[in-house]
Amino acid sequence: MTGERVKSNLVRQLGRDPGIIIVNRGLALSKSYVVFAIFFASVAILTANFGNASLGGAPANSGIYLRPLSLLSVALIAIAGVTLTTSVILLYVYDKNNGVLEYFLSLGMNQGDIYKRYLKAGLILVSLLMVAVTVANVGIGLILGRAVTVPLAATGIAAALSLSIVSFDTMAMMAFSSLQKQRAGANQPLGLALGGLLVVPAYLTPLILPFIVVVAVDLAEAVIIAALSVALLLLSSRLISREKLLP
């Protein structure tokens, strides 16, 4: 009956944007991930705005800074993005187990069409998170009368990294059944661990590399992961059998 109710609701919502529908359904499925994402994002905002460390005791107005802690906010924001989109990935497994994906196939959709719906939902959530973080950084800068160059730069890098990681994490989890295992009676896709692993370099580079090199490495990682995500999406209908979408 649960699967039938889900399908009935989908029929009533087919005229609406599919990405927004999945966002709403995912958040209704579990709101705890929103709380965790807000926590990580809050720590990231504080780190970006108050994590600057002067280089060699140089005075604050000298312009000579080393900002390892500020760039740690990139990894924290990325983790917040992955956490926030967890509900969408869990919803995918929930829908698969309840025959919703089979229903989509019966409407004439292929694997790529279905994946795009859940992928779009994840990207919407990450985009909303980035807007919120940007507004918070600008607000703190205005209140304290401080420059927001570094916090905004960190947010921009985090946006590129988060969007690419969430895209790859979502596509990989949806594409490969081995990443969709149930644990203790609950949907806990193993693919979620990919997001955490991909963020690890962003934690390490600010501690061992100069500022500009960290920026280059983080952006290069984002480009590579984004390219892999696009490749998975384009090849999904040919490489991944329809049977993997069935309960």
Whether 9 maps to a domain, the answer reads: no
Whether 8 maps to a domain, the answer reads: no
Whether 91 maps to a domain, the answer reads: yes
Whether 2 maps to a domain, the answer reads: no
Whether 184 maps to a domain, the answer reads: yes
181's tokens? 């295992």
Whether 189 maps to a domain, the answer reads: yes
Q: Nearest Cα to 90, choosing from 189, 168, 23?
A: 189
Per-residue pLDDT of the chain (247 residues; tens, 9 = 90+): 455 565 555 555 544 788 888 998 888 887 888 999 999 999 999 888 876 544 344 444 433 344 567 888 898 999 999 889 888 888 888 888 888 888 888 888 888 888 888 989 999 999 999 999 999 989 988 888 877 887 888 889 999 999 998 888 888 777 665 555 554 344 455 656 777 788 888 888 888 888 788 889 999 999 999 998 888 878 777 766 776 677 6
When computed from its CA atoms, the radius of gyration of the chain, rounded to whole angstroms, is: 20
Q: How many helices and strands in the chain, by DSSP H and E?
A: 10, 4
> Please, what's the b/e burial string for 201-213 (b: 16 or more CB within 10 A of its CB; e: otherwise)?
ebeebbeebebee
Identify the domain containing residue 57 by its residue range.
Answer: 14-245
Structurally, the chain folds into a number of domains equal to: 1
